[in-house]
Structure 1
Amino acid sequence: MPETAVTSNLWKLIEPSLLLHGDDLAWICRQQEGRREVQFRQIHQAALVTAQKLRKSGISAGATVGITAPNGPEWTVAALAAWRIGCMIAPIHIGNSDHDIAAQIDAVKPDIMLVHGSGIVHEPRMEITLDAEEELAAAENAIAAADDPDAVAARLYTSGSTGNPKVVRLSHGNLAANVLAAVKIQRFGPGDRFISLLPFSHAMGITANVNLPYYVGASLVTPKVLAASEIVAALEEEKVTVVIAVPRLFRNVMLGLEKKFREGGKGLALYRRVLRASPSRLRQILNAPLRKRLGGRINVWVSGGSHLDGRITRFYQELGLPLRQGYGLTETAPLACIQENFDSAPESVGKPVEHVQVRVNEPDESGQGEIWIKGPNVMLGYEDPEQTAQALEDGWFKTGDIGRIDDQGRVTLTGRLKRLIVTEAGKNVYPEELETLLERDPAIKEAGVLEVDMRPACVLAMDGDDTAGEARRVIREFNALVSAHNRISRIAVVEELPRTPLGKIALQELPAIFEAHEIGAGGN
């Protein structure tokens, strides 16, 4: 792996690896029309030629290059080409509605759009292609942009889960710092295969599924579709070793395994007790069939993007599957904390990564307060100066997350400031904690908690014939277990909860959904 400090732009961080691993597979694309393989050499050459085409079209350093393409080699060629000539990328999430796509484009106002497999209309535009042979010689001789780790590398449009849009400005240094921190935590290399499950239009996808694997010379696998059966097939058939995904995937895998154990007449709880009492070598033997079902070679599972229930972490740990939880935000490029060595505190998000500081601002008597983050990964700012002034203070980013830090430096999140419900009695209710507890009932696919009349209410996603009756049963049992101020007052039931592209609940849509689907009181 080439060793490069955060003193260069992303092109110069990644290019040595593209050259070093030229004949190796960069991509395995599972497509409906067949399997496609792409070498690192092809990526490098196509990026050089695309950069030269951008220059010839009048695009120069400091311009904004929009990207509308599905996850795949063409997307990465566009980003690398832009970075080579000192441009900023502005990825457009093509899975959004036409209205949201228009809002993204209007917010970032790209100088040119690089497109592949997209019907988005924008002028000027240029098709991304991997065919680079004819124009390669001239492109190789072109001079790359000067090193400047403080230059803007990406302008990322984010409305988060609350619907409050911002454009985040991440520097080359921000994104590079994340890559260099990741390789200090886990040894990645050319023998690894990452599966691409995260949208490249988000910081998590850019870091975990583009910059990191390219830097270490690992391969990327794209499934045909993001369906459970195809993902499992890709894990096994392509011998995937690294899975970085959102909590929803890991919860669904857990529920699927529990279902298979029940259907097979096997006691999962007994099996897990046997595992806990077994020597490590015996655990490896007992877990071999399970690991084979999930591909057989996965040695890294990382969850990020939103909160992961500690029960899910324990489930994977007890089955010998190395799941760890990370934490960060778009504004931190995104990684800030991660569990190391499959942390003994599964509810935590681990410790800060190298060169990153985390503190609790103005903690209350229980040690909880707003999480602030400082380090080389923290954004340059938002495009709106007022938003930047509200979010940054002396280099510290105010995350809006509520949490605490234990005596070993491990961070545990308990909620979001903007979601905090304060009851008439002045009691604090943390919706995220209630959602985690509700989703432990097998009848609940997903839960979204919101404030109605200064009390917690919820929208439950369920399947079945008598969802109303089941929902009332779940809430009766839930309310019998929790403190009075945490009891659910009213319920709504739907088939699915609305989600952001990164898999978080679209919180801004919950009130309207609740109003349209309420079934009545939750009971006490």
Structure 2
Amino acid sequence: MLLFDQTATTGVSTRLMDLISAEEAVSLCGLFLERVARTPDAVAYVQFDEKAQTWIETTWCDTARSVAHWQTALMREGLAPGDRVALMMRNRREWVAFDLAALGLGLVTVPLYPNDRPEAVGHILDDAGIRLLLLETAAQRAELSAIDPALAQLKRLLILEPGDAPLAEGALSVRDWLDETMPVVERGAIDRVDNPEALATIVYTSGTTGHPKGVMLSHRNILWNAEASLKLIPARPDDRFLSFLPLSHTLERTAGCVLPIMAGCSIAFARSIPQLAEDLQQIRPTVMIAVPRIFERVHARLRERLDGESAIKRRLFEQAVSTGWSRFEHGQGRASWHPRLLAAPLLDHLVGAKIRARFGGRLRVAVCGGAPLAPDIARVFIALGVPLVQGYGLTETSPVISVSPLEDNIPESVGRPLPGLQYRIGDFDELIVRSPGVMKGYWNQPQATAEVLDDAGWLKTGDQVRVQNGHLFITGRIKDILVLANGEKVPPADIEMAIAGDPLFEQVMVIGEGRPFLSALVVLNPEVYTEVAKAEGLPADPMAADADGRLEPVLQNRIESRLTGFPGHAKIRRVALAACPWSIENDRMTPTMKLKRAKILADYREALTRLYVGHDH
């Protein structure tokens, strides 16, 4: 069994301007206070003010006053170090201020997804023994009425924006709560934890099966991960991050919140996903942390628009991508110079610059993580000059395990392991890691902890990998592997990504456990289907086209063209159509946008069973 240690192998420059080390910070609140001391008047956060209808900048010094105010109010609650407090809000200054204030007092913060289901929230409140809960709006409180018994166990329920309606029984507006502490808020000092090993947060994984597990992360876990990430993706004080992934997502919290404090960058909070395109134009970020869905949607819209353009414009776009990719490979040192690169500046001006303008025109790096991004899609953006890199990690590792440096970027790879992270390859090619970022364990679940974390600190990731030239390539997830009736083992992720590269397929899930062949359950993009239906003479309603048997051959042909390089056992023999998209709301996706495979299988069991009628197992 091979053992690797990335401490001495990175070779990446660590010239970071004004970087606060994890050792200097000691704790997360200590990191913040050191940043305030170093650059008090620099812009820390940018947030849209709905009343003024403008973006408001807040300095580190301003933020410190806010943190002190929140902390003073929390001190009056009689909470003890180690007590758990939860917050359920969109990304905003108040999220960060509450978090830092609580952490400084030794409290343990438990972030909740703003759109999570009441049952999941109720489980977390009960499992973590939450003493205080901060909600953003009165509407959230109304949505949680199904878990009133769990809410009744809270010591305090706060609502940031209560509106004009009377508050629910037991709730208190944040304004009233904070106003009680106004006379003493000028005490000045902000408390901080001096033990880096102290528990900082419990983050509940959005499990695809069963109840979520609470991942216990210390101050040191998160600080180490942010500092190590900066060694592969350096950040500068003049960088502006755009924060739109939920801060309850550990990737956003570590890489999009803690890391910028460490490097002295400013963070702008996006208003919402529907307004993201507009926010990109107004904020013009230099750094963004994203999930594949963002790039998949932009790519799908690009393809839709191209389908309606002239043959000349389509050819121009393809030429720009081809030449841009050659230029990228040459710049990476993987290809020699070719005369066609002389056309690269003109093609970039005509095509690439317009695509980059959609992201604000200043993007220096876009880190994509949380799920795999199809290499085809990544190559298009990279070829058009969007500095897109992929990363990989788990909540259990705080979360980053690897990321591709800009100067050593392979789209099919999830990058190089962080400096200081050790890894080895176990049975079934499972990646096993050890680092100061590995969790303390699962809250209240010693058996589940022992199943993945040994006494020496090695964590089983559950992901299958191969390693090539120091880069990690994810080949599958052990629990998702499909075993066909003939014993052939098939990881579905690569097949699903390849199929989803066709803009017709909005969502894809490959099935075949215990079956003689693979099938696919798909959700279609309605706009693209309309064009396909016209071209193929199909009914306007895809369900009608599916019912009369004419749609499946069309879908099979398109899928087959996407899987030309796959082995025979990985081919899709049958296709079933899902009537509606899978979402968090219908409980078919987790809050981190992962498919709940077992739930989807159960919901579509009858339709999927019909695919195999007449076939021997």
Q: Normalising by structure 1, what TM-score?
A: 0.91
Deviation of 1:165 (Å) = 2.1
Question: Equivalent of 1:140, from 163, 169, 188?
Answer: 188
- 1:70-89 matches, within 5 Å, as 70-89=90-109
| 2: CA distance, partners of 1:450 / 1:162 | 17
Asked if structure 1 preserves the Cα contact closer than 8 Å seen for 2:241 and 2:265, the reply is yes
| 1: CA distance, partners of 2:383 / 2:353 | 13
Q: In the alignment, what sits opposite 1:96?
A: 116
- Structure 1 pair 518–32 and aligned structure 2 pair: CA distance change class (3 A): farther
Partner secondary structure for residue 370 of structure 2 = coil
Asked if residue 254 in structure 1 is aligned to residue 254 in structure 2, the reply is no
Deviation of 1:440 (Å) = 2.0
- 1:329-344 matches, within 5 Å, as 329-341=394-406, 343-344=408-409
| 2: CA distance, partners of 1:224 / 1:345 | 32
Asked if structure 2 preserves the Cα contact closer than 8 Å seen for 1:317 and 1:342, the reply is no
- 1:286-297 matches, within 5 Å, as 286=350, 287-297=352-362
Partner secondary structure for residue 114 of structure 2 = coil
Q: Structure 1 unaligned runs (5+)?
A: 364-368
Provide, for residues 124-178 of structure 1, a one-character-per-residue CA deviation record: whole Å limited to 9, x for no partner: 2345669789456554246x24411111111111133334521110111111012
Asked if structure 2 preserves the Cα contact closer than 8 Å seen for 1:492 and 1:519, the reply is no
Larger Rg: 2
| 2: CA distance, partners of 1:411 / 1:320 | 23
- Structure 1 pair 282–160 and aligned structure 2 pair: CA distance change class (3 A): farther
Question: Equivalent of 2:600, from 510, 515, 523?
Answer: 510
- AA of the residue aligned to 2:20: E
Q: In the alignment, what sits opposite 2:384?
A: 319
Q: In the alignment, what sits opposite 1:192?
A: 239
- 1:219-368 matches, within 5 Å, as 219-227=266-274, 230-265=275-310, 266-267=313-314, 268-275=317-324, 276=326, 277-278=340-341, 285-286=349-350, 287-341=352-406, 343-362=408-427
- AA of the residue aligned to 1:338: V
| 2: CA distance, partners of 1:425 / 1:213 | 51
Question: Equivalent of 2:222, from 148, 153, 175?
Answer: 175
Deviation of 1:507 (Å) = 2.1
- Structure 1 pair 140–516 and aligned structure 2 pair: CA distance change class (3 A): farther
- Structure 1 pair 63–139 and aligned structure 2 pair: CA distance change class (3 A): farther
Provide, for residues 341-363 of structure 1, a one-character-per-residue CA deviation record: whole Å limited to 9, x for no partner: 25453211111012112221135
Asked if structure 1 preserves the Cα contact closer than 8 Å seen for 2:433 and 2:458, the reply is yes
Partner secondary structure for residue 438 of structure 2 = coil
- Structure 1 pair 345–289 and aligned structure 2 pair: CA distance change class (3 A): closer
Asked if structure 2 preserves the Cα contact closer than 8 Å seen for 1:169 and 1:379, the reply is yes
| 2: CA distance, partners of 1:342 / 1:160 | 35
Deviation of 1:323 (Å) = 0.3
- Structure 1 pair 396–511 and aligned structure 2 pair: CA distance change class (3 A): same
- AA of the residue aligned to 2:44: A
- AA of the residue aligned to 2:406: N
Higher helix share: 2
Q: Percent same amino acid at aligned positions?
A: 28
Total equivalences in the alignment: 515
Question: Equivalent of 2:32, from 14, 36, 57?
Answer: 14
- AA of the residue aligned to 1:334: P
Deviation of 1:403 (Å) = 1.2
| 2: CA distance, partners of 1:522 / 1:29 | 53
Partner secondary structure for residue 604 of structure 2 = helix
| 2: CA distance, partners of 1:290 / 1:146 | 45
Asked if structure 2 preserves the Cα contact closer than 8 Å seen for 1:491 and 1:520, the reply is no
- AA of the residue aligned to 2:384: L
Question: Equivalent of 2:483, from 400, 422, 426?
Answer: 422
Partner secondary structure for residue 201 of structure 1 = coil
Partner secondary structure for residue 130 of structure 2 = coil
| 1: CA distance, partners of 2:157 / 2:596 | 31
Provide, for residues 345-395 of structure 1, a one-character-per-residue CA deviation record: whole Å limited to 9, x for no partner: 3211111012112221135xxxxx111111011111112000110001221
Partner secondary structure for residue 572 of structure 2 = coil
Deviation of 1:38 (Å) = 4.3
Deviation of 1:325 (Å) = 0.2
Q: Normalising by structure 2, what TM-score?
A: 0.78
RMSD: 2.6
Asked if residue 380 in structure 1 is aligned to residue 465 in structure 2, the reply is no
Q: In the alignment, what sits opposite 1:458?
A: 520
- AA of the residue aligned to 2:490: V
Q: In the alignment, what sits opposite 2:537?
A: none
Q: In the alignment, what sits opposite 2:156?
A: 124
Q: In the alignment, what sits opposite 1:390?
A: 451
- Structure 1 pair 470–192 and aligned structure 2 pair: CA distance change class (3 A): farther
Partner secondary structure for residue 278 of structure 1 = helix
Partner secondary structure for residue 294 of structure 2 = helix
Deviation of 1:65 (Å) = 1.4
| 1: CA distance, partners of 2:233 / 2:568 | 44
Question: Equivalent of 1:484, from 551, 568, 589?
Answer: 568
- AA of the residue aligned to 1:446: Q
- AA of the residue aligned to 1:306: A
Deviation of 1:220 (Å) = 2.3
| 1: CA distance, partners of 2:211 / 2:471 | 30
Q: In the alignment, what sits opposite 1:109?
A: 129
Partner secondary structure for residue 249 of structure 1 = helix
| 1: CA distance, partners of 2:109 / 2:382 | 38
Asked if residue 474 in structure 1 is aligned to residue 474 in structure 2, the reply is no
| 2: CA distance, partners of 1:319 / 1:24 | 33
- AA of the residue aligned to 2:236: G
Asked if structure 2 preserves the Cα contact closer than 8 Å seen for 1:337 and 1:349, the reply is yes
- Structure 1 pair 155–69 and aligned structure 2 pair: CA distance change class (3 A): same
Q: Which has the higher contact order (CA 8 A, sep 6+)?
A: 2
- Structure 1 pair 512–171 and aligned structure 2 pair: CA distance change class (3 A): same
- AA of the residue aligned to 2:45: W
Asked if structure 2 preserves the Cα contact closer than 8 Å seen for 1:337 and 1:350, the reply is yes
